[in-house]
Amino acid sequence: MLLLPVFCLALLCLSVSGEGAVKRWLPDTRWETGRNWAAGKPPCPGQRASLGHAQGLAVYLSSDVQLGALVFPKTGQLVLDEGAALSFESFENDGDCAGEAQFMAQERVHWYNPDHWALRQSSQLLPESLENRPDTDPRPPAVPDAELVPCPTDFVVFEDERFRVDTDDLTPKVREVQIGDRIYGRPEMELLLDSDEGKAMFRGVVTSGTPDCKDPQGCACGNDAPDPLERICIQHGPRCSENLPCEDSIYLIGNCCPICASSVQVRPGPDFVFDNIVQHFFNDIVKPQYGGHVQAYVH
């Protein structure tokens, strides 16, 4: 795997964004998703399985499953999609199919975890992220942890309703929320959050319908403020690498971990236009001098 060098341009003392990015929520509560299980895979046929950690979750089963036994949580649901079936027959398993399979999706619900989001489109990142980038690809290292989590001008996408997200006692604001094929502005989002369906998907309040950024100097993302950044680093900090391939790593604005990168900080003047410096940085510096060999991000 080829890792691109990282080059970042930061506006001094202010992390800002321009046009809204598109960020997609990765976790789900599907039975078939391997990452939802402690062993990294769904239970084997005839194996005992436990949903004991899925408190308050709706777990979705879309296939035929045969188990030795199934432990349910005190609160929660097991929802069988059309065509799915659940049967029980216990027989001997060994190797990685022995013991009890533990459903662990409850640990993958935090909104303020940058590892739970995929950046699908951003005018501030070069090379731009691709809509069809596999979820298993490394996250763009040039993008700060705070800005992988949705900002107020961002568009947020959930593949369907089979998810659970916890806003960690904060109220994130976004430009627009899409769940499946449906778009939710402010009134639609408020109605959803008041419904039983919405309460099953969201713990806490998400405000949709934030206006576009009209300030030529850009608009603050806000996730590098103390409260959200503390929550972001509680989630992501334990994943900081202890063996970086450089001796002069740096902390970028909005990052929880040091990274190997170069950074330039700019102090905006009265006539500063954020989009102009993005275009100048990409088109006149990064592209002609470094081609596709450097990943760059402006914020």
Same domain? For 131 and 237 the reply is yes
Residue 157 has pLDDT above 80, yes or no: yes
Choose one of 85, 107, 129: the last residue of a domain: 107
Tell me the pairing of strands 48-50 and 69-71.
parallel
Do 178 and 276 lie in one domain? The reply is yes
pLDDT of residue 257: 93
Report residue 11's pLDDT band, with 50, 70 and 90 as the boundaries. very low
- pLDDT value for 71: 96
- Cα atoms found within 13 Å of the Cα of residue 257, Cβ hemisphere only: 19
Q: 154 vs 24, 91, 170, CA distance in Å? A: 10, 50, 17
Q: Which of 70, 73, 78 has the alpha carbon at shortest distance from 47?
A: 70
Question: Can you tell me whether residue 213 is helix, strand or coil?
Answer: coil
The answer to whether 123 and 278 have CB atoms below 8 angstroms apart is: yes
Q: Which amino acid is at 215?
A: D
Residues 177 and 288 in one domain: yes
Does residue 1 lie in a domain region?
no
pLDDT > 60? residue 7: no
What band does 134 get if pLDDT is binned at 50, 70 and 90? Answer: low
Which single residue is written with the structure tokens 């188990």? Answer: 67
Least confident of 44-48, 124-128, 167-171, 214-218: 124-128
Structure tokens at 76: 């929660």
Residue 79 lies in a domain: yes
Phi, psi angles (nearest 5°) of residue 298: -115, 130
φ, ψ (nearest 5 deg) of residue 35: -65, -15
Averaged pLDDT for residues 218-247: 91
What per-residue confidence (pLDDT) applies to 2?
A: 41
- Is 152 within the bounds of a domain? yes
| Same domain, yes or no: 149 and 235 | yes
**144 and 21 both lie in a single domain:** yes
Mean pLDDT of 8-12: 50
pLDDT of residue 5: 56
Residue 136 is predicted with a pLDDT of: 54
**In this structure, are 177 and 97 located in the same domain?**
no
What average pLDDT does this structure show over 16-45? 88
Q: Tell me: do 51 and 194 sit in the same domain.
A: no
Residue 181 and residue 136 share a domain: yes
CA distances 244 to 6, 11, 239, 263, 286, Å, are 13, 25, 13, 17, 24
Q: Is residue 237 part of a domain?
A: yes
Taking the alpha carbons at both ends of the chain, their separation in whole angstroms is 27
Residues 43 and 10 placed together within one structural domain of the fold: no
Q: What is the tens place of the pLDDT at every residue in 56-83?
A: 889 999 999 999 999 999 888 899 999 9
| Domain interval for residue 242 | 6-27+110-298
Residue 29 has pLDDT above 50, yes or no: yes
Q: Choose the weakest-confidence range: 4-13, 43-52, 85-94, 160-169.
A: 4-13
In a domain, 201, yes or no: yes
* pTM across the whole model: 0.86
120 pLDDT above the threshold of 50: yes
Statement to judge: residues 59 and 143 lie in one domain: no
- Who contacts 181 (Cβ-Cβ below 8 Å, separation ≥6)? none
Indicate the residue among 91, 107, 123 that finishes a domain.
107
Same-domain pairing of 88 and 223: no
Domain limit, last residue, from 88, 107, 126: 107
Same domain, 86 and 200: no
Number of domains in the chain: 2
Give the whole-angstrom CA distance, residue 201 versus residue 192. Answer: 9
State the Cα–Cα distance between residues 53 and 100, nearest whole angstrom.
13
